[in-house]
Structure 1
Amino acid sequence: MQHIADWEGYRFDYRDSGTGPVILLIHGTQSDYREVYHVERLIEAGYRIIVPSRPGYGKTPLRVASSPGELAAFYRRWLASRHLERYTVYGISAGGPTAIALASGNPAVSSLVLACAMTHQISLPYQDWLVQPLLQRPLQLVQWILWHYVKDKLVKFPQEASVRMVEMTSLLQRDEIRRQLDGADQQLLYQVGLQNGPGRGVLFDLTQQIDRPLLQAIRCPVLIVHSKADRAVPFEHALYARRAIAHAQFIESASPGHLIWIGPSARRDERMIERFIALNHL
């Protein structure tokens, strides 16, 4: 269910579902408060899930924050204002830098999960051009056309469209991806494809930086889950975080690409995350 908050002069949307220990889930690129990865299973497992739309996504304006550190400070104040004094932070993909900044030196965070997460600045071809202000409207149009195409193909050819979606963020060959996906994966990707869409938040995501000292200052338990087949956020991001956070636990996912919630190890990875959160929510 969508909620609208008016706080510190900003209006933003978020989801707040379930009861029990609190998990603040920080979504990735081209998503919003409707994030579907692992959310319903965590609610069924007895957790309260809060998913705010990050800057530039949903109804959250881009001006809420200009960096992961600013956004983390905003979330920290907002949660404190709601008298939430203990919570797990679950950072997905481009939500990783904000999750790291929020967990660093924050005694309210009981544990941190980094799932296929960015842990330092991403590097893309033509990145300096992609972040130019004059290009933002054309890029949004390109995103809109791409997602409209994806949604159309998901409706008409769900099986093959699911394979192509994974292929965009995978280092594996198409036939190998096809062998690894089952009906549940296709249903999840169908849901993701219909929910996700363009947003100005891509500009925020491409310019994110996180300083190594922030990673080193994390004292809460940390679990890193990542796949070597990830093209969107290379496996090196997981290794970087693992080196910087000496006490971090690590799971190498067998996911066929960027999304650890699909493929042959998906449910195992989710159970390990659930177990980790349960053991460390003190």
Structure 2
Amino acid sequence: MTGVARLTATADLEHGTVEYRFDQRGGSTVVMLHGGHMHAGLALGEQTFADAGYSVLVPSRPGYGRTPLATGTTTSGFADVTRALCDHLGITRVAAAVGVSAGGPTAMATAVRHPDLVERVILQSAVGPLPWPDTPTRLAARLAFAPATEHLTWSAVRAIIRTTPGLGLRMLLGDLTTLPARRVLTALTAEDRQTLLELFSRMRSGQGFRNDLAAIRDRVGRVTQPTLIIASRNDGSVPFTHAEALASTVQHSNLVESAADSHFIWLSRDWPAISNKIRDFLAG
């Protein structure tokens, strides 16, 4: 896992402009659809695919980075944008659509709408078919990430991280775990702490997160591809019930329970074993 910024490009498609990063390694490609506050310039949870030799395509979802909100606002709309981006780059088949957190519904929509493109689906701490988030979180997020306040919110976050990093991490982890944040922070390695500090210092919400909250996850049918679902019961952002609901509705699915202390399953002590499961899953 790494939060180091990466170079991105934009493509002007029939559906609109989309920002993306395409890390080519000569092998098959996976498409990563990241969650809230993320854009194509940030890498999260991609190392497993890179180590296995996969090329990784990461588009910024609507309202994030340099992808305008008008470019495929709904999950189905951006699924079509993802297909068009693959066509633009000459990608005719992807080994998996990987949906992380709020990017989960778009990964599923891409698989349903374009089965000739997507071989498999991997869902990591992903939002499922249940209501999300809860009402208090939704109301607070609408205030904190409104157009007039989003920049101020992230400026405050960066100031706290810069001056009192430990306090900043505890505050941010508090919304991402069901466990005491101090306990979660204590269990992190120095390297993991630095990774989170770099990640949080580069996150932005733009108009994307409010769109995630407001967007109706349109019904697109059932995923028929083999699907790997990975989630933790300690996730304070996307409850484990979402993973259970996904496993019950996706016919060819396998639910892997992570021992992670928070939403960040990549920081768990069992992540190396889960990475092996991902590689085995991709190998069929």
TM-score after normalising by structure 1? 0.87
Aligned to 2:149: 142
Cα–Cα, structure 1 residues 136 and 201, in superposed 2: closer, same or farther, change >3 Å?
farther
Aligned to 2:178: 171
Alignment pair present for 1:264 and 2:269: yes
Equivalent residue of 2:120, what SS?
A: strand
Cα–Cα, structure 1 residues 140 and 232, in superposed 2: closer, same or farther, change >3 Å?
farther
Match of 1:251 among 234, 244, 256: 256
Aligned-partner residue type, residue 10 of structure 1: G
Unaligned runs of at least 5 residues, structure 1? none
Aligned to 2:116: 107
Aligned-partner residue type, residue 135 of structure 2: P
Aligned to 1:6: 12
| Contact 2:72 2:80 (C-alpha < 8 Å) held by counterparts | no
Aligned to 2:106: 98
Cα–Cα, structure 1 residues 212 and 240, in superposed 2: closer, same or farther, change >3 Å?
farther
Q: Which whole-Å deviations, capped at 9, do the CAs of 1:119-166 have from their partners, x for residues lacking one?
A: 1241432688689xxx78972343323322222232333344333322
Alignment pair present for 1:200 and 2:207: yes
Q: How many angstroms apart in 1 are the aligned matches of 2:206 and 2:104?
A: 18
Match of 2:21 among 15, 26, 30: 15
Q: How many angstroms apart in 1 are the aligned matches of 2:138 and 2:101?
A: 21
| Contact 1:2 1:15 (C-alpha < 8 Å) held by counterparts | yes
Equivalent residue of 1:63, what SS?
A: coil
Cα–Cα, structure 1 residues 33 and 251, in superposed 2: closer, same or farther, change >3 Å?
same
Alignment pair present for 1:119 and 2:128: yes
Q: Which whole-Å deviations, capped at 9, do the CAs of 1:94-136 have from their partners, x for residues lacking one?
A: 10110011111513211110000111241432688689xxx78
Unaligned runs of at least 5 residues, structure 2? 1-6
Q: 1:182-193 counterparts in 2 under 5 A?
A: 182-193=189-200
Q: How many angstroms apart in 2 are the aligned matches of 1:196 and 1:263?
A: 21
Q: Which whole-Å deviations, capped at 9, do the CAs of 1:64-111 have from their partners, x for residues lacking one?
A: 123101111221233134331210111001101100111115132111
Cα–Cα, structure 1 residues 190 and 30, in superposed 2: closer, same or farther, change >3 Å?
same
Match of 2:239 among 234, 240, 249: 234
